[in-house]
Amino acid sequence: MTIRTVETKPIAGQKPGTSGLRKKTAAFMAPGYLENFVQAIFDGTGGAKGKTYVLGGDGRFFGREAAGTILRMMAANGAARAVVGRGALLSTPAASHLIRLRKADGGIILSASHNPGGPEGDFGVKFNTPNGGPAPEPVTEAIFAATGALSRYLISDAPSPDLSAEGIFDLDGMPVEVVDPVADYQALMERLFDFGALRALFASGFTMRFDAMHAVTGPYATAILEGALGAPAGTVMNGAPSEDFGGGHPDPNPVWAKPLVDLVMGPDAPDFAAASDGDGDRNMILGRGLYVTPSDSLAVLAANAAAAPGYAGGLKGIARSMPTSRAADDVAAALGVPAFETPTGWKFFGNLLDAGMATICGEESAGTGSDHVREKDGLWAVLLWLSILAKERKPVSEVMAAHWRRFGRRYYSRHDYEGIDSDAAAEMMAALKARLPSLPGATFGGLTVEAADDFAYADPTDGSVTAGQGVRVSFAGGARAVFRLSGTGTEGATLRVYLERYAPPDGDHGEETQAALAAVIAAAEDIAGIAARTGRSAPDVMT
């Protein structure tokens, strides 16, 4: 077979964001677009020669075709081996595990996570490093630099093996190993959790619904919950991956997973419910009549991790992204372990996990995970929640009430303004940053600003500094507003405003969240002028 060297030119804008490169599917399908970016991944990381890669994705439209192209490029670039999930499927945490298990040199995950899929939707490519984690900033910068220096890409003319059957196939001299996407991941979960105790929970009549949102976690949740743990058939909803996620956004929040939220708020509510995002790294947790704020979920998991054998030895530290509520810090203080505050995006947790400084990490966007892989892991969070419920034998609402009585409650909400004008968003953030020095001491509707800054992170493992990670405004009494622009969208800008207020252990924990945050919401509007600058009077999504 022949290896073709195809002449190409740099394509502008191939800059990875918070989590990989995300563009409209049509953009990715344009001639050379995917090929250029994949060649840049190889060129920016010292070449593919002799390397082993893991490859898979969330099942979205164009994924299988893209996988075939990437395999032909791996072979042409001299890679030693490719390990691919059957059907080109791998959840992001399963890919992370497989990279570590096989001691691979990296992995490519074909996903735009929670962004919608299909010909009119979005596509994405994430590159993970040998530790199994998302490429850190220096690596994404090297890849971006390589996109600007391309003059050719290499591709084999040999056909890619059909990925529907397991086995080892030859592609122009490179073995392509097609594996069951679920088996190794399930074995890891069986080591971390007491499956016997979880089986006993389901056998006692405990009820659950898991909404896979037509995305990649369907096969994982079905095998683990309904298979290994004996939950009744029908526990997993929307469990067959579809190329356009049933026409929805596979984003586990009260807007896009509304049917599940309606179910838990209604008369036929199960004891516990969860939903997961497109690539299986994020999760939403619900109890009967109750939505658990992701920041609270992180805190509860950290405080009760010993309920699972994998964490019986205690935690080394707890890390959260900056906009995530400080509920996790309260737990770290009580446990006497370090707390870390990183920029948004899982890539910043990798060094802490590798250095053994943190065991559990999480983000307000419903991503939680531990040192078992180097990605956030939606099903892992569900299994740890189940372990806590199996031990406590209490409703989720009582687990939350007990948590707040011990640590206090951090009322929390994120307000998203989607698809706003990019220039208006940039001007708003610039004006906000210009105002920062004048804010401390100023009062907005009874809230006095204590500190205000543009968050910069100094990585404690290597001293590297990442600046410009979002504006933090802290008020006396523990309230806080954070402003940043999303790095995962593909149209206009998305402004995220993160709102938080503290009620101490003996305070009122029963308020409705938006009402509890009313003063912080008003202060955030006063400080940033959101309505005037964006033309929006209300957010599109509130989590």
Determine if 350 is a binding residue for ligand VG1 (CB under 6 A): no
What are the structure tokens assigned to 381, written together? Answer: 């969070």
Q: Stretches 81-89, 105-113, 324-332, 469-477: which one binds Co ion (CB under 5 A)?
A: 105-113
Could you tell me which of 250, 269, 13, 282 has the C-alpha nearest to residue 148?
A: 13
DSSP-assigned letter for residue 438: G
Helix H or strand E segment including 250: none
Determine if 325 is a binding residue for ligand VG1 (CB under 6 A): no
Give the Cα separation of 353 and 464 in Å (integer).
Answer: 16
Instruction: Give least dist CB 112 to Co ion, A.
Output: 9
- Residue 282 phi/psi, 5-degree rounding, is -125, 165
Instruction: Give least dist CB 113 to Co ion, A.
Output: 3
Determine if 304 is a binding residue for Co ion (CB under 5 A): no
Closest CB to Co ion among residues 298, 315: 298
Instruction: Give least dist CB 282 to ligand VG1, A.
Output: 5
Closest CB to ligand VG1 among residues 156, 469: 469
- Site pattern 56..95 for Co ion (x: CB under 5 A): ----------------------------------------
Give the Cα separation of 111 and 474 in Å (integer).
Answer: 35
Determine if 249 is a binding residue for ligand VG1 (CB under 6 A): no
Closest CB to ligand VG1 among residues 161, 489: 489
Determine if 487 is a binding residue for ligand VG1 (CB under 6 A): yes
Window 108 to 127, contacts with ligand VG1 (CB under 6 A): 113-114
The Cβ-side half-sphere exposure at 124, using a 13 Å CA radius, reads 29
Give the Cα separation of 474 and 471 in Å (integer).
Answer: 10
Determine if 253 is a binding residue for ligand VG1 (CB under 6 A): no
Answer yes or no: are the C-beta atoms of 36 and 131 closer than 8 Å.
no
Could you tell me which of 31, 38, 35, 1 has the C-alpha nearest to residue 16?
A: 38
Helix H or strand E segment including 484: strand 480-485
Window 43 to 62, contacts with ligand VG1 (CB under 6 A): none
Q: Stretches 183-191, 242-250, 297-305, 344-352: which one binds ligand VG1 (CB under 6 A)?
A: 344-352
Q: Stretches 3-11, 276-284, 329-337, 421-429: which one binds ligand VG1 (CB under 6 A)?
A: 276-284
Instruction: Give least dist CB 19 to ligand VG1, A.
Output: 4
If one counts every other C-beta atom within 10 angstroms of the C-beta of residue 95, the result is 33
Chain centroid offset of residue 84 CA:
21
The b-or-e profile of 409-425 (16+ CB within 10 A means b, else e) is bbbbbbbbbbebeeebb
Determine if 364 is a binding residue for Co ion (CB under 5 A): no
Determine if 374 is a binding residue for ligand VG1 (CB under 6 A): no
Give the Cα separation of 539 and 220 in Å (integer).
Answer: 34
Q: Stretches 57-65, 76-84, 334-342, 483-491: which one binds ligand VG1 (CB under 6 A)?
A: 483-491
Give the Cα separation of 270 and 272 in Å (integer).
Answer: 5
Determine if 128 is a binding residue for ligand VG1 (CB under 6 A): no
What are the structure tokens assigned to 487, written together? Answer: 């790095």
* Phi/psi-derived region of residue 392, left when phi > 0, alpha when psi is between -120 and 50, beta in every other case: alpha
**Residue 211 interacts with, from Co ion, ligand VG1, none (CB under 5-8 Å by kind):** none
Determine if 344 is a binding residue for ligand VG1 (CB under 6 A): yes
Residues with Cβ within 8 Å of residue 180, at least 6 apart in sequence: 85, 86, 166
Instruction: Give least dist CB 18 to ligand VG1, A.
Output: 3
Interface with ligand VG1 (CB under 6 A), residue from 282, 288, 320, 480: 282
Window 272 to 291, contacts with Co ion (CB under 5 A): 277, 279, 281-282
Instruction: Give least dist CB 276 to Co ion, A.
Output: 9
Interface with ligand VG1 (CB under 6 A), residue from 19, 52, 283, 370: 19
Determine if 363 is a binding residue for ligand VG1 (CB under 6 A): yes
Pairing of strands 106-110, 122-128: antiparallel
**Is the sign of the CA dihedral 377, 378, 379, 382 positive or negative?**
positive
- Site pattern 113..132 for Co ion (x: CB under 5 A): x-------------------
The Cβ-side half-sphere exposure at 17, using a 13 Å CA radius, reads 14
Q: List residues with catalytic annotation.
A: 113
What are the structure tokens assigned to 270, written together? Answer: 């199960």
Pairing of strands 443-444, 447-454: antiparallel
Determine if 217 is a binding residue for ligand VG1 (CB under 6 A): no
Closest CB to ligand VG1 among residues 115, 474: 115
Q: Stretches 362-370, 384-392, 500-508, 522-530: which one binds ligand VG1 (CB under 6 A)?
A: 362-370
- Residue 381 phi/psi, 5-degree rounding, is -60, -40
Give the Cα separation of 246 and 51 in Å (integer).
Answer: 36
Residue number closest to ligand VG1, CB atom: 113
Instruction: Give least dist CB 434 to ligand VG1, A.
Output: 23
Determine if 277 is a binding residue for ligand VG1 (CB under 6 A): yes
Binding region for ligand VG1 (CB under 6 A): 18-19, 113-114, 277, 281-282, 321, 344-346, 363, 365, 367, 486-488, 496
